[in-house]
Amino acid sequence: MPYPFVGNMDLMGKLRSVELSTLVLPTLLLLLFYGARGSHCSLVHVNMTDRRSLLDFKEAITADPRGALHDWNDGIHYCMWSGVSCSVRHPGRVTALELGSLNLTGQITPSLGNLTFLRELNLTDNHFSDQLPSLNRLIKLWFLDLSGNILQGNIQDATIALANCSKLMCLDISSNMLVGSIPRKIGSFSNLEALYLFQNNLTGTIPSTFSNITRLELISLAENQLEGNIPAELGQLSNMAVVELKGNKLSGRVPPGLGNISSLLVLDLGMNMLSGALPPDIGDTLPFLEWLSLGTNNLEGHIAPSLGNLTFLRDLNLTNNHFSGQLPSLNRLIKLEFLDLSENILEGNIQDATIALANCSELWFLNISSNMLVGSIPRKIGSFSNLEGLDLSQNNLTGTIPPTFSNITRLVYLSFGENQLEGNIPGELGQPSNMQALVLKGNKLSGRVPPELCNISSLLELDLGMNMLSGALPPDIGDTLRFLVWLSLGTNNLGGHIPDSLGNASALVHLDLSSNYFTGQIR
């Protein structure tokens, strides 16, 4: 018996031994009824304040499309209502309210603040609006998730509404419509381990008082309008595992003090206005880092060679910065799966870049486009057998396309566009059966469009424009590539009749055959 309540057999014995009077019979029958529904609930343990608070909450719900609160009625003890849990040690006292992802619409009523034994409140992914009411009496609350609603008001007021909830360990009010600056008093929540404030409209700076929350392991302030420097005091949080500040207006340098958080697993500072060089020892001081995202900032200088020491790294994103020089050796990153170095000013030979990644056999995405790399694409590129996406476009690559791409059978996206590549398009490119996009535009490729490309039935985009291709198109191109959405062959030397099959490519939304020598019409 999980609760100290009277069970069915005990109750039947009492009914046999007690002289039933007209006064006690109704009560005993009710006890029997609730005992039959579950021995852990009984009218003996009713807290009228908790019950009334729940009913007030239900009355404020204006839409319940899934009928989640259908059983919130007098026919069932409130401890058995959907989403409600009660205490074992203090029967009848509500300890948890779990009503996430139910499409409920309404307001969060102040009456929830009367559930003084509440420890967990989860209303995530609903449509609750208006401001957060005072929950200051919930001194036992340790888990609060109100994310994914349309709560409004100032973050300062929301913090005041929770001021006495000193036991909070997880606070999630992300993906709402809160405004204002994060208050310095946020540091008074000294027991917090996880704080999610992302996807609101928060402004101002990140307060240095976060350093007071010494237990903090995760902080996400992403996708707001925060500005100013990243406070160096964050480096004092020695238990931190995740720091996510992307999508703000933060400026200044990446604080070297972050290197003090040796426990860090995820550091995401992308899509800000950070500048300067990376701390040179970043790869030595963060030995357990698995995710490093610094893309879309104004960072400059050489890519720190110490990044090559991050042997647990799986995701490295440095796109859209001003990094220069050559790519340092990343050969020790044997767990690396995602690497985006696009839109920088990296130099050197593509052969050397490939050697710098030779042991990264787990890579499934590699993007070094929009840089200043030179040289011929090495045949060894085919050894990256797990690649699904490869983009080397907008560099100064020369030579021919090696046929070894046939070894990369998982390729979904391949782009060598806007280089100086020449020679024929190898028919071996038609072997990867999962290909959805092949972009070779803006080179000096010659010869025919290989009929083998028509074997890639999954192809959605084929862009061979602005080359020196000649001859007729494969006659079955529209039959075999029936899912094509984008076909660009403009500015070549192609000729002959437009294949009748092209009219069967019913999914096409973009077709460019301009500046060629085609005859006939699309049927």
Q: Can you read off the two tokens belonging to residue 18? A: 């007690």
SS (H, E, C) 218-271: EEECCCCCCEEECCHHHHHCCCCCEEECCCCEEEECCCHHHHHCCCCCEEECCC
Question: What phi and psi values does residue 34 have, to the nearest 5 degrees?
Answer: -70, -30
Summarised one tens digit per residue, pLDDT across range 319-373 is 999 999 999 999 999 999 999 999 999 999 999 999 999 999 999 999 999 999 9
The DSSP-derived string for 89-127 is SSTT-EEEEE--SS--EEE--GGGGG-TT--EEE--SSE
Question: What phi and psi values does residue 207 have, to the nearest 5 degrees?
Answer: -70, 140
**How far is the C-alpha of 433 from the C-alpha of 209, rounded, in Å?**
54
Inter-CA distances, 290 with 32, 325, 486, Å: 57, 24, 36
Strands 150-151 and 510-512: unpaired
Question: Which distant-in-sequence residues (6+ apart) come within 8 Å of 12 by Cβ?
Answer: none
Question: What phi and psi values does residue 159 have, to the nearest 5 degrees?
Answer: -65, -40
Pure H helices in 342-495: 350-355, 477-480
Q: List the one residue out of 156, 184, 158, 154 whose CA is nearest residue 171.
A: 158
pLDDT value at position 489?
Answer: 98
Greatest alpha-carbon pair distance for the chain in Å reads 106
Q: What average pLDDT is seen over the chain?
A: 90
pLDDT value at position 313?
Answer: 98
Q: List the one residue out of 265, 247, 245, 263 whose CA is nearest residue 255.
A: 245
The answer to whether the beta carbons of residues 280 and 257 sit under 8 Å apart is no
Q: Can you read off the two tokens belonging to residue 77? A: 């003890």
- 0.75 exceeded by pTM: yes
- Coil, helix or strand at residue 387: coil
pLDDT value at position 433?
Answer: 78
The answer to whether the beta carbons of residues 426 and 405 sit under 8 Å apart is yes
The answer to whether the beta carbons of residues 248 and 272 sit under 8 Å apart is yes
Q: Mark the ranges of the chain whose per-residue pLDDT is less than 70.
A: 1-44
**How far is the C-alpha of 220 from the C-alpha of 213, rounded, in Å?**
14
Inter-CA distances, 289 with 168, 210, 328, Å: 27, 21, 18
Helical (H) or strand (E) element with 9: helix 8-17
**How far is the C-alpha of 197 from the C-alpha of 181, rounded, in Å?**
11
Tokens 């070779």: give the residue: 440
How far does CA 207 lie from the centroid of its chain? 25
Buried-exposed string 357-390: b where 16+ CB fall within 10 A, e elsewhere: beebeebbbbbbbbbebbbebbeebbebeebbbb
The answer to whether the beta carbons of residues 169 and 142 sit under 8 Å apart is yes
The answer to whether the beta carbons of residues 212 and 188 sit under 8 Å apart is yes
